[in-house]
Amino acid sequence: MPTDTKERILDSAELLFSSQGIANTSLRSLTEHAQVNLAAVNYHFQSKDALVQAVLFRRVNPINQRRMELLTALGQPSIGQILDAFYRPAVEAVLAGPEGRAVARLIGRLYSEPGDLLAGQVRALMADTFRTFAESIQRALPGVPQATIIWRLHFCIGIMAHTFGAMELIEGMARGRIAYDDPEAILRQMITFASAGLRAEGESTCAAS
């Protein structure tokens, strides 16, 4: 339960933006949901765009910081360890509390949200993390061309973004055969798949690791 106005606005914005989309969420419905006055949004944040940015930063910055901590704590990491450092902070943020689903959708839609304004923000938000992890993977896989590393790291991000952004669709299509109730199991599925993908040989035959 949030206490002050600013936090209540952020929490409601996160929930509504992620479930209905940003453009579909009016400041009126937002302030009604947060039980604050309409003008409070424009007082605490300057505009709706700035509010979007604040919602994003609050969740994604700590995740990226944790990713860096985990990665630098490893000396000469394996591919599996690098992926664990990348995925785990995000999966755990999704775990934490009942607002997890909203955070998941927020992260899941981060990369493909339309609009030039947001695209620039996301790029700035992710650039450092992306570069650091790309370099780490390159060191672990010295034989793989740089362009291939870049494509494959984007594929790893795509796996996560889709797992987080299409939860309802995935659950619905699975008809109970898979579920989101065990985050550690999902993490394991993601790492196993992405790990093999990153280490793939060009002609998709199997070689010694």
Binding site for a second copy (CB under 8 A): 18-24, 79-80, 105, 108-109, 111-115, 119, 122-123, 126-127, 130, 146-148, 150-152, 154-155, 157-163, 165-166, 168-170, 172-174, 177-178, 186, 189-209
Contacts of 196 (CB under 8 A, 6+ apart): none
- 73 is an interface residue for DNA by CB under 7 A: no
167: its two tokens:
């939860």
Q: Least CB distance from residue 69 to a second copy, whole Å?
A: 22
The least distance separating DNA from the CB of residue 102, rounded to whole angstroms, comes to 18
Any idea what DSSP says for residue 201? -
Tell me if 19 sits within 8 A of 108, measured CB to CB.
no
Q: Which of residues 11-70 bind DNA (CB under 7 A)?
A: 25-29, 36-44, 46-49
CA separation for the pair 52, 115 (Å, rounded): 12
CB atoms within 10 A of CB 154: 14
Distances (CA, A) of 56 to 14, 98, 106, 151, 184: 8, 18, 8, 25, 24
Cα 198 to Cα 155: distance, rounded to the nearest angstrom = 9
Q: How far is CA 57 from the centre of its chain?
A: 11
CB of 84 to a second copy, least distance (A): 11
Q: 9 or 85, CB closer to DNA?
A: 9
Distance CA 180, CA 188 (A): 13
> In whole angstroms, what is the distance from residue 200 CA to residue 30 CA?
46
Min. distance of Cβ 88 from DNA in angstroms?
35
Nearer to DNA (CB atom), residue 27 or residue 95: 27
- The residue within the footprint of DNA, chosen from 5, 53, 129, 132 (CB under 7 A), is 5
Distance in Å, CB of 204 to a second copy, minimum: 4
Q: At 183, list the tokens.
A: 């985050």
Number of amino acids touching DNA (CB under 7 A): 21
Which entry of a second copy, DNA, none binds 127, CB below 5 to 8 A by partner kind?
a second copy
Which one of a second copy, DNA, none is in contact with 135 (Cβ closer than 5 to 8 A by kind)?
A: none
Binding partner of residue 184 among a second copy, DNA, none, CB under 5 to 8 Å per kind? none
- Binding-site ranges for DNA (CB under 7 A): 4-6, 25-29, 36-44, 46-49
